[in-house]
Amino acid sequence: MQYGWQRTALLITLLLVSIVSQIDRVLPFILAESIKADLNLSDTQIGLITGVAFTLCYSLAALPLARFSDGGWARRVLLFCIIVWSVMTGLGGLAIGFLTLTLSRIGVALGEAGGTPAAHAIIAQRIPENFRGRAIAIFSMGIPLGSMIGFGLGGWASDAIGWRNALFGAGIMGIVLVVGILFFIPKQGVLKQETQHRESYIKMGRELFSKPAFGWLFRAAILMGLSSAPFYIFTSPFLIRTFGLSAGEVGLSFGLLQGVMGIVGTLFGGKMFDKIANKGSKGLMNPPATIFIVASITTTMALFMPNSWMSIALLVPGMFSFAFMMPFAFGAGHLVAGPKKQAFSISVLMLGPGLIGGTLSPFLVGFISDYATTGHYENGLQIGLLLVPFFSLLLGCTGFIVSKKINDLVK
């Protein structure tokens, strides 16, 4: 594509897609205490709704939607997905119990499953390789920005207008975004010759996993899901219960810091990824691996602090680590997969955190929390959330192995 305003408009539009997608994803996290009280849910059910129900559908739907995206339908996939997840987010405001809320989140997951692969396909097709890491970082910046807006506005909405109206508003916001897609993302996703060669899922998957670097990157992605999912889902309820904060206070403090750290982390991560990749990719994943080991220590300390500001401050390295890792993980996926398979590789990497990480860990944290609470432990969620630093430590160790395998691949 041409440089200048067209590329800028495309990246801004994709950034807005990422922001709105993340807002719809994180709203139930900050609204969890209100939803739990209104619908009489347990922590285990919250974990099932935000974890199993969402990520299972998200992961399974990502593969076929990524295939369409790589095959020249990325723009149409993106339009379809935004409409679906926005409508289903709004319908979540009509939920009357566990089942109806679960169904709405499954619908949101179905829509969001294709958003990221489609966006990565567009980036791979339209953005030069020497700018690829920064383009991915700009798109990934929507995660912290969306988290910041979602937590901030969601916390305010929970206190001021109720959780149902918050979901209605988020759904409407997504529908408005469709206009931007129609105007600023080109109709033709790929060149015609790129749509003619179609391989089976199994063949493409075998080819990816025949590379040890991708296998270890997939393991790292699973650990990323295991550590990040409960961090985002249960930190707000933990702060509200432990320190007596309101949803609005948590939204402003945790949400604002999460946004700032996320922006800094993704931009810094994208720039560092490009720098290392352009020099031969030696030790590519060492920087995020080191940061995750540090974050595992500070997050453990955060769970046992006597006041809210100390706890939130010690959560900052964890916020930074997840954002910093994003350009590295996605960029490494592009690098290992090779041309014409970037969206497929990203969807496979998302499959690991979805089917295993994001599905299992929120349920485990919720179950441990409920079990500890019934055992008369004062703060069961504190015990359950110890899984976050444990998996972060494993992720850091795995990152160093990924670096070695990528070194062997690019020699």
Contact status, residue 126 vs residue 38, Cβ threshold 8 Å: no
Q: Is the model's pLDDT at 104 over the cut of 60?
A: yes
Determine the CATH number of domain 5-183+201-410.
Answer: 1.20.1250.20
- Its sign, for the CA torsion 39, 47, 79, 156, is positive
> What's the confidence (pLDDT) of residue 340?
65
The model's pTM is 0.74
pLDDT band per the 50, 70, 90 thresholds, residue 207:
confident
pLDDT band per the 50, 70, 90 thresholds, residue 74:
confident
Q: Is the model's pLDDT at 52 over the cut of 70?
A: yes
Burial class, 206, CB count within 10 angstroms (exposed 0-12 / middle 13-18 / buried 19+): exposed
Say what percent of the chain tops pLDDT 90.
32
Rounded Cα distance between 46 and 363, Å, is 8
Expressed in percent and rounded to 5, the helix, strand and coil fractions of the chain are: 85, 0, 15
Q: Is the model's pLDDT at 176 over the cut of 80?
A: yes
Mean pLDDT for the chain? 85
> What's the confidence (pLDDT) of residue 215?
92
Pull the structure tokens for residue 19: 């922001």
Q: Is the model's pLDDT at 134 over the cut of 50?
A: yes
pLDDT band per the 50, 70, 90 thresholds, residue 411:
low
Residue type (1 letter), 52: V
Q: Is the model's pLDDT at 408 over the cut of 90?
A: no
> What's the confidence (pLDDT) of residue 154?
87
Residue whose tokens read 């939204």: 251
Q: Which tops the pLDDT comparison, 397 or 10?
A: 397
